[in-house]
Chains A and B, each alone.
Chain A
């Protein structure tokens, strides 16, 4: 239930519009519980069907949401870049104050945008983890072999192939360098509005931190460590005992 709780917390903390796009872990667990140890009866088959059906529809949901977000990010990144160009190029035309204001807003927007993209990556990761876990539970309960082929397919799904988002994030980071490099003589002109609009970035920031913490927690240790478990995260500023994570099948 640990994962379930963590997932729930992540959902609570996440961007509101995203809340219903996460894995229906609880429902899937309920189905697993309904399965008997040896899948023999007809009700078992029905439950299994429902389970698979739910898994598939969840995957569809992820894919749909993910690709839409991806599309939007592509559009917005380009727009941001254009904005930067236009602000920088028209800098001499405007007063310092206006320029400063625009730069500030630009910076804030970009950083938030970056955050959103990373949160999408996190979304993908969390859902994948949930799928892997629930499949493992299923196999454990029924002695079945659903997990392996299913996971193989999941790995190829759009929502898990986050290479494009990764690329966008890197681009964004490079662009941010650009934006923050701009001479800071405008530092003396602050932006009061920033304080007012902090809602958005605070939530993104909070989500990001929450995501990191959750990740760390999830990988810290588990009673069911196996070949498919991830090693603990190695964040340099987080103190973790280093011990062997993956049980090595190859004897020393």
Chain B
């Protein structure tokens, strides 16, 4: 199977590399990193040494588990990634602009790739980085050295992760997913700290790690298109679920690439998944993805074909009923038009509704944040000087009187009263914009975008 052979090939490459530069820790089954050699030279020696030392000290799996996926794709890989990337500082790729992240592979040789699954959603990784900085002081990777790496390279490529993605071997995935489960859990102090809010009683940690697994997405470094490709895999619900069900989020551009490849190979019938995969040269794409997509493609082509094949029959039918056709034709057109109108209307309304929902939630979050801040400062002030002016005291009284539900109306309302004068043009705008007729919303919609 192709995946296996490529895997084997990469392994041998790695062994080569490993013997020269990399600590022995890395030489075990890594599907990874022909990039290693490129990466290391980019580091100043001292940093490299320190990295090597760190590598040695960490368990074996630390190096390569990120590349494993439970299901042969990137997804579950990232599901654990927020945990370890944050702990290992690799989310320090965050500052890097999205554009550079999807730099095509041509730049592979020159960049020092961040071998860890670069959390390419800079938002997500930023959070994880922040969390990491706050919460895991005892992880030994010095952030500085990695920053140095990033500064040197100026761009992060997915080369490493791309190279490792061809792992669609289920058996190995099983092993590695177990490794992820066990070793990472003990490696991390707080495995789910990055994405959970600290609400222990709700075993949210567990839930959120699950949920956080939904979020990470990888960018495919497709040569033709940058910044728009997603290979988001939806993880299976169990963390240790080793079922091979990678879910890829296709885009029209990716599909175009696919069709080109298929056409080059002589059409949807002649093309094989293997061939298409090779031609497409898209990182993050597994043969499994291609296979299922090809199947869908074939089905889609055959359905219209079969009905068109009966065109002769149709002609005779049509010619047989000429006199009544004028009316029928017009009626049909009208029916279609009506249908279109209703559909368009529904689409519009759904869009509007969705935007509203987004903004409502955003507003809710904002208020929540303000409330919490106010709570905090209120408490602080209260502690600082008991005999304050009426404002903070009034506020803290309100705070104390508040029910446990943090988003209840009352305290936030009084909060709003106090804050209105200060600094909430944003908030007011949001609220106002939530009310208006659709037209204005559409304008606001553009703002959001």
Contact = CB atoms under 8 A, between A and B. Distances in A.
A118 B247 contact: no
Contacts of B409: 226-227, 247, 249
B208 interface: yes
Given A78-B252, A118-B350, A215-B353, A187 B329 contact: yes
Contacts of B251: 74, 164
Contacts of A228: 360-361, 364
B247 A63 contact: yes
A212 interface: yes
A212 B349 contact: yes
B322 interface: yes
Given A63-B214, A102-B311, A250 B347 contact: no
Interface string A17-61: 000000000000000000000010000010011001101110110
A150 B367 CA distance: 17
Contacts of B247: 63-64, 67-68
B434 interface: yes
Nearest to B217: A158
Interface in B395-416: 403-407, 409, 412-413, 416
A36 to B, nearest CB: 13
A12 interface: no
Contacts of B438: 234
B250 A74 contact: yes
A70 B307 contact: no
A31 B409 CA distance: 26
Contacts of A3: none
A143 B404 contact: yes
Interface residues of B, number: 100
Contact of B296 (A75, A139, A151, A155): A75
B196 A149 contact: yes
Contacts of A173: 344
Contacts of A108: 332, 336
B329 to A, nearest CB: 4
Nearest to A71: B250
Nearest to A157: B214
B342 interface: yes
A125 B353 contact: yes
Contact of A192 (B321, B412, B416): B321
Contact of A190 (B256, B324, B358, B413): B324
Given A59-B214, A63-B247, A249-B413, A176 B340 contact: yes
B257 to A, nearest CB: 12
Interface residues of A, number: 106
A153 B212 contact: yes
Contact of A208 (B318, B342, B404): B342
Interface string B332-376: 110011011011111101111110111011011101100000000
A63 B246 CA distance: 12
A72 B250 CA distance: 9
Contacts of A151: 361
Interface string B252-296: 100110010000000000000000000000000000000001001
Q: Max chain A CB contacts within 10 Å: which of B235, B301, B357?
A: B357
Contacts of A97: 315, 318-319
Contacts of A10: none
Contacts of B259: 78
B5 interface: no
Contact of B361 (A152, A212, A246): A152
A144 B307 CA distance: 56
B339 A205 contact: yes
A64 B434 CA distance: 31
A157 B212 CA distance: 10
Given A48-B202, A111-B336, 19 more contacts: A56-B210, A79-B301, A98-B315, A102-B311, A107-B333, A132-B357, A145-B202, A148-B364, A153-B214, A166-B347, A173-B344, A208-B343, A212-B345, A215-B349, A233-B352, A246-B431, A246-B435, A250-B420, A250-B427
Interface of B: 195-197, 199, 201-204, 206-208, 210-212, 214-215, 232, 234-237, 245, 247-252, 255-256, 259, 293, 296-297, 300-301, 304, 307-308, 311, 314-315, 317-319, 321-322, 324-330, 332-333, 336-337, 339-340, 342-347, 349-354, 356-358, 360-361, 363-365, 367-368, 403-407, 409, 412-413, 416-417, 420, 427-428, 431, 434-435, 437-438
Which 3 A/B pairs are nearest by Cβ-Cβ distance? Answer: A190-B325, A190-B328, A63-B234
15 contacts: A56-B211, A70-B250, A72-B300, A118-B347, A151-B361, A180-B337, A187-B326, A190-B324, A191-B329, A208-B346, A215-B349, A215-B353, A230-B357, A233-B352, A234-B438
